[in-house]
Structure 1
Amino acid sequence: MKDETQASDGKASPVFVVGSGRCGTTILDQSIGMHSQFESLPFEAQVLVSPDMRNGLVRAFQDPPGNERTDLIRAHLQNRFSFLHNGRRLGFCSWTTKEAYTQMTEDLLRDIKIPASSIRTFLDKLYAPYLSMTGARFWIDGTPANGCITKEIVKIYPEAKFVHPIRNGIEVARSIVRKGWKSGSFERALHHWNIWVSRARYFGNSLGSDRYIEIDFQSLTKDPAAEMLKVSKFLGVEMEESMLNRFSPTRANIHRLKYEKWEIDLLQKIAPGMSEEFGWIRHDAMMPPNGRP
């Protein structure tokens, strides 16, 4: 199969797994990373954008030039290095030193007036030793929030590819509530899911089917071989059996859930049409009144 994950300038184009938290970004990111040519960053990098969308290299495109913007970007990068290098996140950035990272940061900020070029140079320098260490050719960033800044990412990597797992909003909202996120509010969690999924779909679909693909999370867990074959073809590589190692038979049962009518009504109000599009709601999946999931 022709290798289609190579940019026209000869550089390796990365893959971004985007969407909403609790949608399957992690398992899809890791499964692609099991391929011999790909390597997942050890944790959601959050270098380009933070989960709250307030910080990250994306500010170089959004904020006016000046010392304040420079200081904010520098602080964000220092934070990511400290959190991921010294913390418990699987030794992210362990392949570089703080001194080298600081120098790369200052080189980036010196040339930040041309954000796309300077950010690409920074990321290529940051991740090249990691790829060399692992023997992979392409890196994968599984930060879900990247789906909200697709238009900025394609300025940096014009031929980057985006993989978007989409999961039933009710299941996502329940999971978010169990985590204690969004103040434990089911409705707020559902709104959060809808905003992130809608943004990723809007920007992704504008790129075309050769650059953006959606994967139904339910189909992924029920028949991972078929869905990972689809992902492999999209990425332009042969599927490898190792890409299925992250899946287990128990994952196929996570969708045997019952939904309360108020949950279904709220989903259809917040994201009209998506239930029908993905076939999420069946008659036998509805709970009787006052039921419990």
Structure 2
Amino acid sequence: MFVLGTSVMADAFRVLSPLGTAYDNRYSQNLQGRCMALRRKIPERATKIFRNVFSRLPFPGISRPLFIIGCGRSGTTILGRSLSEHRKITYLNEPRHLWFSAFPETDIWTAKAHARNGKLFLTEADADPQKGEKLRRLFWFETIMNRKPVLIEKLPINNFRLHFIRQIFPDAHFIHIYRNGLEVARSIEKASEKGDWFGSGSYKWKKLVEHARENENTQNLPELCTTCYDKGLLEWRLSTEAVVGFLRGLPNNAFVEISYDEFIDHPVKTISKVLAFAGVGPDPNVETFVSDIVARKSSKLNPNRISEKERILGGDLLAWLADGGSGLSHEKSGQGKIHTID
């Protein structure tokens, strides 16, 4: 049985109480100091206990979180890793456990996904207020424990849940990174060979198929997917169209958009643009990291060499990029021919 030392338990109660105390900024600052001191004393298992307790307390939760969005294998991980070097940024890299804790139905990967009624596509109607409050507190807890106030989260499947996220986090901002769909498909193909990219028992793929079939423009495409490369290209299309359709409905100051090539070719300039959007100043640690680490790891594919099958699976956005288009979420990109599911 797990037992905490008396002094540590006493510290924990001082940090996580009193329940009846009204929240204010002074208490928040004091709480951050106490949590950091407590973190040095307790093991990870105890942190999980305190996280769970904290999520039930009457705190307002995180404000102005930023979400990195974009299809998986588009550079979301290296972008998030770069931002994590900043002294003010708490970076959550695919924090599925936090999402599962508040919304079990967000699970489309594990063996428990079926029992949890895991959903790929979530809307405002799925954003239960009580669960949303819990998630906001869970995110805020992470910033307190790290003593870094700006929260940036990355979970690529969120591309299909952006209206859901906006309902939970009304002041959320978004960082979109996009990449040539052919390169993404190739990378997904490699990743799927190493593990369960499409979920335990292909649960995620089955949900992607269901999602594609709900739209007359994509309903017949799953039958064309005979390889993991094909599946990856369809995932890129569905994911990217969902993001673009969402961002086009936001004010320009609610999101920033960069391309993978832009980040690889000009890492310092690009990361500076993102940091400015996030509302934090430059940090030499970030600049050093991107200068030393950010580089292309695979050969660049020519987007002009697209087979007929790739053109069908990739859709208008793939053709737009092949023709030299950029700035996917601007109204004129892709000539406005984006087919989304409301």
TM class, shorter-length: 0.5 to 0.7
CA contact 1:218–1:255 (8 Å) conserved in 2: no
Partner of residue 83 from structure 2, selected from 32, 49, 53? 32
Correspondence 1:38-117 to 2 at 5 A = 38-45=89-96, 47=99, 49-51=106-108, 55=118, 61-62=124-125, 115=128, 117=129
Residues 109-146 of structure 1: per-residue CA shift (max 9 Å, x gap)? xxxxx82x323320232233321221111222200111
Distance 2:280 2:96 in 1: 24
Q: In the aligned structure 2, how far is the partner of 1:262 from the partner of 1:274?
A: 12
Deviation at 1:224, TM superposition (A): 0.9
Matched length: 220
Aligned to 2:319, which of 257, 272, 275?
272
**Does the CA contact (< 8 Å) of 2:174 and 2:254 recur in 1?**
yes
1:19-71 CA deviation, whole Å, 9 max, x = no partner? 111011111122222222211124443716345696269868546xxxxxxxx
Q: Indicate the SS of the match to 1:213.
A: strand
For 2:236, the equivalent position in structure 1 comes to 193
Aligned equivalent of 1:146: 158
Matches of 2:264 and 2:292, distance apart in 1: 8
Query: CA offset at residue 211 of structure 1?
Result: 0.9
2:149 pairs with 137, 140, 144, which one? 137
Inter-partner Cα distance in structure 1 for 2:308 and 2:292 = 31
Partner of 1:120: 132
Determine which structure has greater relative contact order: mean sequence separation of CA pairs < 8 Å that are 6+ residues apart, divided by chain length. Answer: 1
Structure 1 Cα separation of the partners of residues 291 and 231 of structure 2: 31
Call closer, same or farther: CA 1:19–1:44 in 2, change over 3 Å: farther
Taking a change above 3 Å as real, the CA distance of residues 132 and 120 of structure 1, as seen in their structure-2 partners, is same
What is the TM-score when the length of structure 2 is the normalising length?
A: 0.56
Q: 1:228 aligns with which of 250, 267, 271?
A: 271
- Residues of 2 paired with 1:222 and 1:191: CA distance? 27
Map 1:202-221 to 2 at 5 A: 202-221=245-264
1:10, distance to aligned residue in structure 2 (A): 10
Letter matched to residue 16 of structure 1: F
> What is residue 17 of structure 2 aligned with on the other side?
none
Gaps of 5+ in 1: 1-8, 64-113, 280-293
SS in structure 2 opposite 1:41?
strand
Question: Using the alignment, how far apart are the partners of 1:125 and 1:10 within structure 2?
Answer: 4
> 3-state SS of the aligned residue for 1:34?
coil
Change (3 A) 1:272 1:162: same
Write out per-residue CA displacement over residues 78-114 of structure 1, whole angstroms, 9 at most, x where no aligned residue. Answer: xxxxxxxxxxxxxxxxxxxxxxxxxxxxxxxxxxxx8
Q: Tell me, in whole angstroms, the C-alpha distance in 1 between the residues paired with 2:304 and 2:264.
A: 25
Q: 1:206 to 1:258 in 2, by over 3 A?
A: closer
Offset at 1:199? 0.5
Pick closer, same or farther for the CA change 1:119–1:34 going to 2, 3 Å: farther
5+ long unaligned stretches in structure 2: 1-59, 199-225, 328-342
2:145 is paired with a residue whose SS is helix
Task: Check the 8 A contact 1:221/1:247 in 2, yes or no.
Answer: no
Distance 2:287 2:164 in 1: 32
- Answer yes or no: is 1:15 the counterpart of 2:66: yes
What fraction of aligned residue pairs are identical, expressed as a percent?
24
Report the AA paired with residue 220 of structure 1.
Answer: F
Aligned-residue offset at 1:225 = 0.7
Select between 252-261 and 172-181 the one with higher mean Cα deviation. 252-261
Which of the pair has more CA radius of gyration? 2
Alignment-derived partner of residue 173 in structure 2? 161
TM-score under structure 1 length normalisation: 0.64
Looking at structure 1, the residues matched to 72 and 185 of structure 2 have their Cα atoms a distance apart, in angstroms, of: 10
